[in-house]
Amino acid sequence: MPSLSNAAVRDIETVIHPYTNLDAFRTSGPMILERGEGIHVWDADGRKYIEGMAGLWCTSLGYSEQELIDAATEQMKQLPFTHIFGGKSHERAAEVAEKLKAIAPHKASKVLFCGSGSEANDQQMKLVWYYNNALGRPKKKKIISRIKGYHGVTVASASLTGLPNNHRDFDLPIAGVLHTDCPNFYRDAHPGETEDEFTTRMAANLEKMIIKEDPDTVAAFIAEPIMGAGGVIIPPEGYFPKIQAVLNKYDIYFIADEVICGFGRTGNMFGSQTFGIKPDSISVAKALSSAYVPIGAVTIGEDMYQAMIDESKKIGTFGHGFTYTAHPIAAAVAAKTLEIYEKRNIVGHVRSVAPRFEERMAKLNDHPLVGQARAKGLIGAIELVADKETKRNFDAKAAMGVTVQKACEKHGVILRAIGDVVAFCPPLIVKEADIDEIFDATEKALNDVEHVVAKEGLRNA
């Protein structure tokens, strides 16, 4: 183990790192990034990497977009802060809201801003409760999310998240949150089951859950079009229309969590459009500002808006809001980001390069370590297995995902291990040559790891 730099030691002694084994971290130390340009970042030792994960699925326009830097700088000079409580406002707020309304995959009436994806989903939960109280349906409050769904880490949004480590020892989930099946056909299909049979079973299970709970108590369903942090799980064709039909039958509000899939990632402006979802509301964050500044938002349909007005009349105020709701700098950057998506036709660009991404990803299916390689638009993953035939996993102690992630870093590409799934989500501005570079490096990394696996007999463990 090389000795740690002074910067690394300072970090270890002062900073808590999310999603990190805090014990192991004391020995390994951080990977400190120093600068970025285009799709590349450089670490503190001067090593250059392609950011193959767009940070955390978010830096859609790469790391040096001058128009965003200028938008933030201008706003900082003009009016660095105003809140929007009690009727105050600034022009950038309406500018972003208008742009979001124009592209939303449902008829949006208003926009409620916040600071992150977690806050967006937290707001969704509060609004669903508020709405049903306004409509005189105080029992209709439960929210169904999915196993392996990821919706954030606040008390409410972590409860919606369907991953054990977000619940364990945090005393979550809270009451009233239920988790239905994850549509992972590769892992969870019964022997001989077709995709059509599988998706029918998923919808039937959801309906059984709703009936068991009592439909009058179930208010909303939340789903990412493609599950990201749960392992890049792409639903089979037909899954969402069948789920949607069940929700419609029981008057259940559909929240599409577009925090990763929003703004072009899957080849349409929103993942909802790619997968035939007709949401009542969407949550957005991340690529809303290309992640240059924190901002999130929830779109509000007219029914919800009217209910909020009714509650305001009754209570005297809409009793919710953050100091940083529609923060002017974040709003200025988000407005510019949405303008860039439109004027540079980012969806068209994703569509033009996605075939190369999908084709290079599909080729990884031939690699002995890869059980399944999957992609849609510019998001994808490889699932590492010890045995392709039986889909048997490697021993967890081998930490195969992290091993491949580190091998990719050696070859100059940052990817992200989620257990034994390795995720890819490059900035949306990647060109075909960049995609080739990402996959050439990944192939080399997989070959390096395969060499060690064969030599050390790790498949037999």
- Taking the complex as a whole, how short is the minimal distance between the CB of residue 238 and ligand PLP, in angstroms? 22
Length of the chain in terms of residues written:
461
- Taking the complex as a whole, how short is the minimal distance between the CB of residue 293 and ligand PLP, in angstroms? 12
Number of Cβ within 10 Å of residue 34's Cβ equals 12
Contact 418, 405 (CB under 8 A): no
Q: Is 124 in the site for ligand PLP (CB under 6 A)?
A: no
Q: Is 235 in the site for ligand PLP (CB under 6 A)?
A: no
Q: Which is nearer to ligand PLP, 156 or 218 (CB)?
A: 156
Q: Which residues pair with 48 in a beta bridge?
A: 42
- Nearest-angstrom CA–CA distance, 252 and 132: 11
Q: Which is nearer to ligand PLP, 294 or 371 (CB)?
A: 294
β-strands 281-284, 253-257 pairing? parallel
Q: Is 229 in the site for ligand PLP (CB under 6 A)?
A: yes
Among 285, 332, 335, 428, binds ligand PLP (CB under 6 A): 285
Burial 151-171 (b: 16+ CB within 10 A, else e): bbbbebbbbbbbbeebbeeee
- Taking the complex as a whole, how short is the minimal distance between the CB of residue 286 and ligand PLP, in angstroms? 6
Among 118, 244, 299, 403, binds ligand PLP (CB under 6 A): 118
- Nearest-angstrom CA–CA distance, 50 and 38: 9
Contact 62, 429 (CB under 8 A): yes
Binding mask 28-67 for ligand PLP (x = CB under 6 A): ----------------------------x-----------
DSSP assignment string, 21-49? -HHHHHHH----EEEEETTEEEETT--EE
Of 1-30, binders to ligand PLP (CB under 6 A) are: none
Q: Per CB under 6 A, which region of 113-121, 163-171, 213-221, 388-396 contacts ligand PLP? A: 113-121
- Nearest-angstrom CA–CA distance, 180 and 161: 11
Count of residues of this chain found to bind ligand PLP when the rule CB under 6 A is applied: 15
Among 183, 228, 279, 377, binds ligand PLP (CB under 6 A): 228
Q: Which helix (H) or strand (E) holds 374?
A: strand 370-376
Q: Per CB under 6 A, which region of 22-30, 40-48, 232-240, 256-264 contacts ligand PLP? A: 256-264
Q: Which residues bind ligand PLP (CB under 6 A)?
A: 56, 116-118, 121, 150-152, 224, 228-229, 257, 259-260, 285
